[in-house]
Structure formats: structure tokens, C-alpha cells
Structure 1
Amino acid sequence: MTNTTAAKAPLIEPIDLQAQFESFFESSTIWIHTNWLKILIAFAAGAVIVIALHAARRLGRRLCDREGTRFGWASVVGRAIVRTNNFFIVMLAVKLVVGYAGAPQEVSTTVNFLWTVASVFQAAIWAREIILGSIEHRTASEHYSGEALLSAMGLIRLLVTLVLFAVALVVVLDNLGVNVTGLVAGLGVGGIAIGLAAQGIFADLFAALAIIFDRPFRRGDNISYDSTSGSVEGIGLKSTRIRGIDGEERIISNKNLLNKEILNNSQRNHRRAKFVIGVTYFTPADVCARIPDMLKEIVEANDKIFIRAGFTGFGASSLDFEVQFDSTGPDYASFYTGRTAVGLAILQRLNEERIEIAFPTQVNLTAAPDGSSIMPYPATPTDRPADTAA
């Protein structure tokens, strides 16, 4: 019986890094010797691009440092430009050289890999700076209280950074041929779990961002919702603070506030007033016909915008007329004073014309069993029939 020793072949062949490096070096050397003119031209163009991008970064830094534009759109763009990193700039120039000069497969593959990493993560950095800069631009407006949201910028920055760089990582791995289905599924499940655990906080946070970008109201605006009215004092990360008309501070979550119908009284272009005037049924018809013109004259004499005036109906104890007029602008104090002046002027004019304003009246009639009317008071001598001559 003979013993034979069979060598087991390895399941995975080891990677010969030295051989690969030698192949890469050899192909690069041949490429440089055969395409040196194209490489020099591409290198010159790449140097120009590097210089231009560095100049753009200096311009962006000046935009950020310019006085009075810390939270302006110029500063937002400047911050994004400043965040352009050197690795991206170099890889952009190298990509141009390799693409123009026709590099061998080994060099092209390596450059494409590095360019993918540099460009994807640089795009994520630019997007992060623009998003955060836009939020700061809105919150720093003179109409917003901004402090609460700016204090929460750390949380917002963390969330935006995690989302953007997670997407960038997935894009890079997918471009490298890695199966990212499991990674995407894991990120999705994790995101759902976090969202369910903090859905109340995220709902109010996104509602605050919706208020900032959609601008249904601003700090200092007078708003009404449900049966509440007041002035907006602050828009925070989770809630909005409103100073009520009686001096109380009302606090409502941003999500609940946006779910309601909001009346922004500060954005009115006018305020409308309406008076209903009832005159007695004893007023002659020709006098009633002149009442709408009287009301129009009174409104225009008080510098208000006349809308309409006319007869509206037969009331229980009055002939009813209505006048509508507008006060320009949203100021309620001016509207209130103007409405008072018009009302008193109407009263004075009706008194001068001897037109009686009706008030609720009721007449009771007494009937006999046969249906005939009975005087509600004893008959006076003048009510008795004249005595007949004897």
C-alpha cells in the first residue's frame, strides 16, 4: 500500500499585489513616453482648472466675509464654494488629463474610482451647505425670531449630513459594482424605526421648516385660528408662541397650527365694515329712496372706500338699509377709529333729516268674541257718540 500526498488547492487565490503594481507602473511609463505631448497639454489645462477653482474659493471666502451678507444668498453660495476640497480639485484635473491623453486601462480604472469618490462626496458637501445656508437665510430674516431654530441647527446639520452622506456612500458603492440592495434595505428599516420613535419631534420640526419656507406668517404678524387671535412672538423648533389680545401667551405645536385655517390679519390689503340701519315704517318712500345716496356721501366724506348701500328688507319693526365700506391697510386701530367716525356721522345726518331710527316695538290688539276690535283703554268723552237731541 502506497501513501500519496495530494496537495489541496486553495479556495481563493491570493492577490499578487507586487505583480499588479509592476503592471500598473509599466503601463503608465509606456503611456507617458508615447503620449507625452497630449499629457503636457492636458496637464496645462488641468493646472488652469486648479488655479481657477482656487480663485473661486477665494471669491467665495470674500462673499462670506462681506459685511451685512452673513446670511444672504451670496453668503450661502460663497460657503458652498469654500467647501470645495483639494482632493476634488486635483481629481478633476487628473480626470481631464487621463480622458484627453487616452490612458491605459489600469490607470483609467484607478482614476475613475478616485474621481467617483471625490465627485460624489463633494456633491454631498455642496448640497449640505446650500440646504443649511438656505435654512439660516430664512431664520435670520428680520421677521423671524430665528434664535430657537438657530440653536437647533446642530440637530438639523446632523440629520442633513447623515442623510446626504448615506446617499453618497450608497452611490459610490453602487458605481464600484457592490450590491447595495441589503445596505439600502437596512438604511430604510433603520430610518423607519427612528422616524416612528421620534415622529412627534420630526413632525413639528418639518412643520417649523414649512413655516419658514412657505411663510404663511412671520414674527410680528397678527393671526387668527379657531377662536384665537394674537401676535406671533416666536417660531421655534417645536412650537409657535402667540401673544393673545388679552395679554396671555399661547403656545401651540407647529404641526397642529399648520393643520388649522390661519387668517393672517397683517397681510390684509383692506378691512371691511358694515352698518345695518333700520328706519321706522312711517318713513315716506321718497325719503327712503334718498337714504343710500346719503350713506354714500357720508362714507366718502370720511375718506373711506364706498362699496355699496341699499335697501335690504322689511324687518319686524323697521325698514332695513345696509352700507358697506373699506379702510385701506391692515391697521385695526385706524379701521376702528374710522368706523366710529362713519357711524356717528350717519346718526347725525339721520337726525338732521328727521329720519327716525326704529327700535323694536310691539302692538297688542284686543278682540271681542265676534272678532271686532276692542279699545285697549276706557273710552274718553271724545270717543263717545254725540248725544241725540231729545
Structure 2
Amino acid sequence: MLKYSLLGNDLYAWAIALAIALAVSALLYLARRVLVRRLSVFAATTTTYLDDLAVKVLSATHPLFILLMGMYAGSHWLLLSDKGTTLLARLAIAALLLQVARWGDVGVHGWLQHYRTRRSALDVASTTSTAALGFVARTAIWAIVILMILDNFGVNITTLVASLGIGGIAVALALQNVLGDLFSSLSIVLDKPFEVGDFISVDGIAGTVEYVGLKTTRIRGLGGEQVVFSNSDLLGSRIHNFKRMQTRRIVFGIGVTYELDRRQLGAIPGILREAVQAQPQARFDRAHFKSYGASSIDFETVYIMQTSDYAAYMDVQQAINLALFERFAEEGIDFAYPTQTLYLARARAGAAQEG
């Protein structure tokens, strides 16, 4: 019975090869289970995500890959032809490359899912854009692995890569606007010039960012309308992000009448200072007699709001205006308003003659 030969090897050799294959497969399977279990216990004691990701990647080791590696190890006991040995080696490399691709696919998917979960409360648009980024990354991984497998089996991939390159250039030229918006979307997600919920101004259009998609960004304007920008046009413009303001520099002016005396004019900067310093959220900077206007004497005041909240700024400015109204009334200082004085030279000359 043992003299029976199959592919140049007797049953004894086949039995040993099978035993080696089963033993190697069992050891690899056991090693995977032990590593996954110990990493899981370690990951539960840490706050980083890398160890959790390592658990997911190792858990993605396919049992068929383990079995194929065991069979390849057992095949070394057999006497095979050169073609058979080369074919088995190529199959083993192909299986390894496919498993590497699976590890990379699971790693990219797990990392992006963790990123979206962490950012979902702050940046809703990250779900859409990172999904596109994940698709591109995973497609690239599988494409590279497939090309490596074809090259492993002796296929000349130079012509294939050149053809794909020419086809890719043609597609890129046809879809350059779409691809430009796509990469702009990824740039917005990664660089974060603004996020959903930020109040921004672009080319004189102000509003709150509602959505950042693969091609467009949508802003809710002050009038309630929705304004849609292409992502590439948006990044090509100057963006003012008011939500990221930490303070506000406020400049306001007032005008008083020319009928005031020197003492009243000299008291106005101090009154302005007192009105601003009375507000806890405002830091006084300066107050000056600025210029002589057409119908008023103009003063300019500057202060810094310690918060970026627009409503808080308006409350403070209102309190300052009311305080100035009261103090000016106490000091007999009148606010200026547009006036014109006409001097009639002929009328004055006639009056002089009558006199």
C-alpha cells in the first residue's frame, strides 16, 4: 500500500506532508488567537486607538490564508518538479499579498471609522469626505496588490500600467472639475479652514456652513437663503471665519456740536473712557479728538471685546451709548447732527445800508 505513488511521492511522504500542513496551520491559528486575546486585554487598559486597530487587523487574518500557508510548508517535504515548486511558491506569495491587502483594507476602514466617530459631533461633513478618502485609499491598496500578483505570475505589467496611466490621464482631463472639487473637499477635511456650524464670509457673502460635500459646500445666508459654492472656488477665495475669533476690536465714533467750550471738549475723552471701562467684557484701548467734520467735532473710541459673541458686543455697545447719552446730558454736551448755515452776502449788505 505504501508503495503506491502519487505525483512522484509515496503515501508515506504524503502523510508526513499532510501532518506538517496541519501542524503549521494549527500553530498559526493558535498564534493568531493568543496574539488577538493578549492585545485585546492590553487595549482595554489604554486610551489610544492604535492597539484596538491592531486587534482588528490581526482578527482579519483569514483561516484560508492560514491553511494555505500550512499546505505550502507541508509541500516542502514532497519531491515536486521545478514547475510545481515554482507554482506553489507563486501561489503562496499571492495568498500572502491578498492577506496583506485585507489587513490594509481593514486598517484603513477601522481608522477612518474611528476618525468619523470622534469627529461626528463637531464636523458632520467629515463622514462624507473621509468615506471618499477611504474609498480611494482602499482602491489603491487592492490595485497595487493585484498588479504585484500579476507580476508574481510572470505577467508583464509594464504595458498594463502604461495603458492605465494613459486612460487615467484621459479620465482626469474629462473630470478635472469634479476631481478638483473632490480634492478640495479632502483639503477642507484635512486642513480645516472651517467646519460645519462656523460663521464665515466669502466674497462678501456671509452665512453659517451647513454642509461640506464631495463637490460643493452649502452656506445658509443671513437672509435665510442657501448659497452653494464649489469646493475649488471656495478654497480659491479669501475666507473670513468669524467663529474662530477670540476677541473683537471695536471702533466707533461720535460727533458733538461746534458750540462747546474748551472745558467740555477736554472732558469728552475721559467720559468715553469711563463709559467703556464700566463694561466688564470690554477692554479700553483709546479715545481721541479725531477731526473737524463738516457739521461736527468728531471723536473716535477703540475697545477690545473679550469675547467673539456678536450679541454680547451689541449689548456692550448699547450700554456704552446709553451711558454717553446720560453723561453728555449732565455736562451740557450736545450730539451733532447734519446742519448747514447759509450766509447771504446781499442781504447783509442791504442791512448795512439801511443802518
SS at match of 1:378: helix
Answer yes or no: is the 8 Å Cα contact 2:94–2:152 preserved in 1: no
- The answer for the alignment partner of 2:328 in structure 1 is 350
SS at match of 2:351: coil
- Is 1:149 the counterpart of 2:122? The answer is no
Structure 1 residues 310, 93: closer, same or farther in 2, change over 3 A?
Answer: farther
Structure 1 residues 88, 280: closer, same or farther in 2, change over 3 A?
Answer: farther
Q: Tell me how far apart the structure 2 counterparts of residues 261 and 59 of structure 1 sit (CA, whole Å).
A: 52
SS at match of 1:357: coil
Number of residues of Structure 1 aligned to a counterpart in Structure 2: 334
Q: Which structure 1 segments of 5+ residues have no match?
A: 1-20, 33-38, 99-103, 369-373, 385-390
- The answer for the alignment partner of 2:241 in structure 1 is 264
Answer yes or no: is the 8 Å Cα contact 1:61–1:82 preserved in 2: no
Code of the residue aligned with 1:314 in structure 2: it is: S
Which whole-Å deviations, capped at 9, do the CAs of 1:214-266 have from their partners, x for residues lacking one? 22222222222112122222223332222221222222233322222222222
- The answer for the alignment partner of 2:3 in structure 1 is none
Q: Which moved more, 1:236-245 or 1:113-122?
A: 113-122
The equivalent position to 1:375 in structure 2, one of 336, 343, 348, is 348
- The answer for the alignment partner of 1:321 in structure 2 is 299
Answer yes or no: is the 8 Å Cα contact 1:230–1:242 preserved in 2: yes
Report the structure number with the largest CA radius of gyration. Answer: 1
Code of the residue aligned with 1:144 in structure 2: it is: D
Answer yes or no: is the 8 Å Cα contact 1:149–1:237 preserved in 2: yes
- The answer for the alignment partner of 1:238 in structure 2 is 215
Code of the residue aligned with 2:330 in structure 1: it is: E
- Is 1:208 the counterpart of 2:181? The answer is no
SS at match of 2:217: strand
Which whole-Å deviations, capped at 9, do the CAs of 1:184-236 have from their partners, x for residues lacking one? 11121222233233333333333333322322222222222112122222223
Q: Which moved more, 1:203-212 or 1:357-366?
A: 357-366
The equivalent position to 1:249 in structure 2, one of 203, 226, 229, is 226
Answer yes or no: is the 8 Å Cα contact 2:273–2:287 preserved in 1: no
Q: Tell me how far apart the structure 1 counterparts of residues 115 and 238 of structure 2 sit (CA, whole Å).
A: 23
Q: Tell me how far apart the structure 2 counterparts of residues 109 and 291 of structure 1 sit (CA, whole Å).
A: 96
The equivalent position to 2:203 in structure 1, one of 223, 226, 251, is 226
1:142 offset after TM fit, Å?
A: 1.2
Structure 1 residues 92, 325: closer, same or farther in 2, change over 3 A?
Answer: farther
Answer yes or no: is the 8 Å Cα contact 2:291–2:299 preserved in 1: no
Determine what percentage of the aligned residue pairs are the same residue.
Answer: 32
1:307 offset after TM fit, Å?
A: 4.3
Which whole-Å deviations, capped at 9, do the CAs of 1:253-282 have from their partners, x for residues lacking one? 333222222222222212232211233445
Q: Which moved more, 1:177-186 or 1:85-94?
A: 85-94
Code of the residue aligned with 1:54 in structure 2: it is: R
Which whole-Å deviations, capped at 9, do the CAs of 1:41-67 have from their partners, x for residues lacking one? xx89x9766434334446789999x9x
Structure 1 residues 336, 310: closer, same or farther in 2, change over 3 A?
Answer: closer
Q: Tell me how far apart the structure 2 counterparts of residues 114 and 158 of structure 1 sit (CA, whole Å).
A: 27
Answer yes or no: is the 8 Å Cα contact 1:365–1:376 preserved in 2: no
Answer yes or no: is the 8 Å Cα contact 2:246–2:307 preserved in 1: yes
Answer yes or no: is the 8 Å Cα contact 1:145–1:233 preserved in 2: no
The equivalent position to 2:59 in structure 1, one of 76, 82, 91, is 82
Answer yes or no: is the 8 Å Cα contact 1:278–1:321 preserved in 2: yes
Q: Tell me how far apart the structure 2 counterparts of residues 96 and 322 of structure 1 sit (CA, whole Å).
A: 87
- The answer for the alignment partner of 1:36 in structure 2 is none
SS at match of 1:309: strand
After superposition, residues 70-149 of structure 1 pair within 5 angstroms as 78-86=55-63, 113-114=90-91, 116-140=93-117, 141-146=120-125, 149=128
Which TM-score applies when normalising by structure 2?
0.72
Q: Tell me how far apart the structure 1 counterparts of residues 53 and 196 of structure 2 sit (CA, whole Å).
A: 23
Structure 1 residues 355, 189: closer, same or farther in 2, change over 3 A?
Answer: same
Structure 1 residues 331, 313: closer, same or farther in 2, change over 3 A?
Answer: closer
- The answer for the alignment partner of 2:33 in structure 1 is 54
Over aligned residue pairs, what C-alpha RMSD do you find? 4.6
- The answer for the alignment partner of 2:4 in structure 1 is none
Answer yes or no: is the 8 Å Cα contact 1:223–1:231 preserved in 2: yes
Answer yes or no: is the 8 Å Cα contact 1:148–1:235 preserved in 2: no
1:342 offset after TM fit, Å?
A: 1.7
Structure 1 residues 282, 81: closer, same or farther in 2, change over 3 A?
Answer: farther
Structure 1 residues 224, 352: closer, same or farther in 2, change over 3 A?
Answer: same
Q: Tell me how far apart the structure 1 counterparts of residues 269 and 212 of structure 2 sit (CA, whole Å).
A: 47
- The answer for the alignment partner of 2:272 in structure 1 is 295
1:364 offset after TM fit, Å?
A: 4.5
Which whole-Å deviations, capped at 9, do the CAs of 1:347-366 have from their partners, x for residues lacking one? 32223222333334444456
- Is 1:340 the counterpart of 2:318? The answer is yes
Q: Which structure 2 segments of 5+ residues have no match?
A: 1-6
SS at match of 2:108: helix
